[in-house]
């Protein structure tokens, strides 16, 4: 077991997410609150997704390397923490790369967040809870296709779920047209951006403000 580390559980339970890092880090409390505070309690994920997590069959031990200055890390850590809370067969350890630099070198981690599952590389960069579950639950793609086939046909299908695609879908739907929006994740590349510098007559708006809209 890595030292220092600490496990977060409910009373009478040994199931929950683990953090491996120095508890004395200056900005750890604020970062930790983003991962395990009200954001987790107010989780707005669809009930069907939460049930899907509870029903995942298999044993998965996730390890996430993070940095306290990384703006994408808390979202990934939070998603995996939620999975560890909902399913007793899923474990998650969030590892401070600055504290365990030797592991960063051994595993050739080039950027954070970097996620490993059962000792093998799983993914790097920003990932949503839906994306993580889809990669773990091998039957999810087939079930999603079956559910889509049961829906009525769309009049318009917009490919791309970035700001342009979202705007097109809104205006199309406002005209009473049955509209479908297809994309890897809602928001597109804006989700991976800190500052936006390509919008005319806008002075470097913060991406998080645009995401909130």
**Residue 212 or 195, more confident:** 195
pLDDT at 43 exceeding the cut of 70: no
Q: Which residues contact 79 (CB under 8 A, 6 or more apart)?
A: 127, 128, 129, 132
Residues in the chain: 213
Q: What's residue 107's pLDDT?
A: 96
Mean pLDDT of the chain: 81
Q: Note if the bond before 125 is cis, omega within 30 degrees.
A: no
What does pTM read for this prediction? 0.69
Architecture of domain 5-139: 3-Layer(aba) Sandwich (3.40)
Distance of CA 80 to the CA centre of its chain: 7
| C-beta neighbour count of 158 within 10 angstroms | 18
Is the pLDDT score of 42 beyond 50?
A: no
How confident is the model at residue 26, as a pLDDT? 53
Tokens of 99: 């504290």
- Contact indicator for 29, 108 with CB cutoff of 8 Å: no
Q: Which of 178, 211, 171, 177 is nearest to 195 (CA)?
A: 211
How many Å apart are CA 64 and CA 58, to the nearest integer? 19
What CA–CA distance (Å, rounded) separates 139 from 134?
8
- Domain extents for the chain? 5-139, 152-212
Name the nearest CA neighbour of 19 among 40, 69, 9: 9
For the stretch 147-203, pLDDT in tens is 888 888 899 999 988 878 888 888 999 999 999 988 877 777 666 666 665 554 566
pLDDT for the residue 39: 45
Q: Structure tokens of 212? A: 């909130």
For residue 136, count CB atoms less than 10 angstroms from its CB and return exposed for 0-12, middle for 13-18, buried for 19 or more: buried
Cβ contact 4:22 at 8 Å: yes
């Amino acid at each position: 077991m890595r030292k220092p580390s600490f496990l977060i559980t409910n009373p009478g339970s040994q199931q929950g997410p683990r953090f491996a890092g120095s508890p004395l880090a200056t900005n750890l409390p604020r970062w930790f609150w983003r991962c395990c505070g009200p954001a987790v309690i107010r989780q707005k994920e669809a009930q069907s997704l939460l049930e899907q997590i509870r029903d995942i069959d298999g044993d998965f031990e996730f390890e996430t390397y993070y940095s306290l200055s990384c703006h994408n890390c808390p979202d990934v850590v939070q998603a995996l923490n939620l999975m560890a809370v909902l399913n007793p067969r899923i474990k998650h350890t969030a590892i401070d790369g600055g504290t365990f630099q030797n592991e960063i070198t051994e595993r050739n981690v080039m950027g954070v967040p970097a996620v490993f599952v059962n000792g093998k590389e799983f993914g790097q960069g920003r990932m949503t809870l839906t994306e993580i579950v889809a990669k773990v639950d091998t039957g999810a793609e087939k079930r999603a296709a079956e559910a889509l086939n049961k829906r009525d046909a769309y009049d318009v299908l917009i490919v791309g779920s970035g700001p342009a695609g979202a705007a097109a879908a809104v205006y199309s739907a406002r005209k009473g047209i049955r509209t479908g929006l297809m994309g890897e994740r809602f928001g597109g590349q804006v989700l991976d951006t800190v500052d936006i510098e390509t919008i005319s007559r806008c002075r470097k708006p913060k991406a998080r403000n645009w995401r909130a809209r």
